[in-house]
Amino acid sequence: MTQYVRPDVFGTVSLLLGTATLLTATFCAPFIEAALRFYPDAARDGQVPLLREVTNSFLIRSAKALSPVVGAAGLLLFFLYREKTAFLMAMASLCGLLVVDAVKAKERNFLNAGRRQKAMAVWLATDTWARFLGAIIMVLVFGSSTGSVLSGYLAGSLLLLAFFYFRKGSGLARAVAPSTMEEKKANLPDEIRRYAIPIIPMAIVGWIASLGDRYIISALSGLEQVGIYSASYGLVSRPFLMAGGVIEQTLRPLYFEAVSAGDKAREKKTFFALLSATVLASLCLVAVITLMRREIAGLLLERRYSAGADLIPWIALGYAFLVVSYVFEKICYAYKKTKSVFFAQSAGAAASLGAGIPMICHYGLLGASMAVPVYFGIQLAVSAVMARQALKGAG
């Protein structure tokens, strides 16, 4: 992307996608996360169709609640934006991405919970390439602009989503008959609601910790600096998220099943495998990325973004802490202690503001990257404490 898109455009896209992430995480992700946790119970009781039905109903309500927010913001910005056509293109694409990403996240979690790892892996991998290729095609046709990039992302994801939905054997959104009153577990919607509500503010604090620094950089240094920082940040964070995601999606369903079944021996064994694999992968990535940061930046970042090479080691260390903190959070999720996860991520968000703002003011982009391991390290420490308390509370 850095070969085709100017840093200021890349920065604008990053900020808009960050806003979309906040909206999706606040309005949709809590119910999707709840569905993943309740899947083992639903599968044991033959209630997976009901779980999907209830999850869909919550997502539809969330979409209705989100529409006025997006509409009001879009109307206000429409009058402030000079290029009306370009704004409408970007806004329409962003709204489409909100819907597509929510559907994708829901289906990904159902595939993961049902152990359909191959279908999920193929879909996510091809979706990444489809978005990238769609953006490049739109940039080549319509020029380097925010609307071109976002519309390319939308086109790629939407076409692939449609392909997998209608492809026989893909495992996505299989048709099920609506649950009858006799089948329904009356308290399932209430259980999901109680589980999901504490996650809603958690999405906000998680967003502050992961993406808030870009908005601070934008206010203090401008969109071009955001673009350079976002390119380096995305380049480094992706391997950690990929490695952690593969390990988590392989072992998390097994861990949740063990907790749900009350099998303490299998629970401890699965968690140890999850933790040790994540720590080992993170340490290897930190070492390789730090030692080869110049080569990585020279190979994968365009010359206008080369200043980001100095940021790479700090971001790598921070993301090693983050993905390990996610492992400890799984204990809290498994025992339905979502308030504990909120507390841990709040600590990280508070630390990101406390450390990020002065570091950016004094040292610019380097300061922003140096703050990453500080606040994610604090989040890791608090997550470990919360996980230990959750285990003690469960006896």
Residue 318 tokens read as 């921070």
Residue 344 tokens read as 């841990």
d(CA 240, CA 233): 11
Mapping DSSP to helix (H, G, I), strand (E, B) and coil, where does residue 198 land? Answer: coil
Residue 132 tokens read as 């990238």
pLDDT in tens, the chain (395 residues): 888 888 988 898 898 888 888 888 888 888 888 888 788 878 877 788 888 888 888 888 888 887 887 777 777 666 656 666 777 888 888 888 888 888 888 888 888 777 777 777 788 788 888 999 999 999 999 888 888 999 999 999 999 888 877 775 555 544 444 444 444 556 778 888 888 887 778 778 888 888 888 999 988 888 899 999 999 998 999 999 999 988 998 898 889 888 888 889 999 999 999 999 999 999 999 999 999 998 988 888 888 888 888 999 999 999 999 999 999 999 998 888 888 888 899 999 999 999 999 999 999 999 999 999 999 999 999 999 999 998 887 76
* Contact between 2 and 132 (Cβ < 8 Å): no
d(CA 114, CA 285): 29
Q: How many CB atoms lie within 10 A of CB 63?
A: 15
Please list, in sequence order, all residues whose beta carbon lies within 8 angstroms of the beta carbon of residue 88, skipping any fewer than 6 positions away. 78
Closest CA to 192 of 61, 385, 97: 61
The whole model's pTM is what? 0.76
d(CA 33, CA 348): 20
Please list, in sequence order, all residues whose beta carbon lies within 8 angstroms of the beta carbon of residue 169, skipping any fewer than 6 positions away. none
d(CA 3, CA 303): 9
Q: Tokens 């996610």 belong to which residue?
A: 326
Kindly tell me the burial class for residue 123, based on how many C-beta atoms sit within 10 Å of its own C-beta (0-12, 13-18, 19 or more): buried
At 183, which amino acid appears?
E
d(CA 314, CA 39): 37
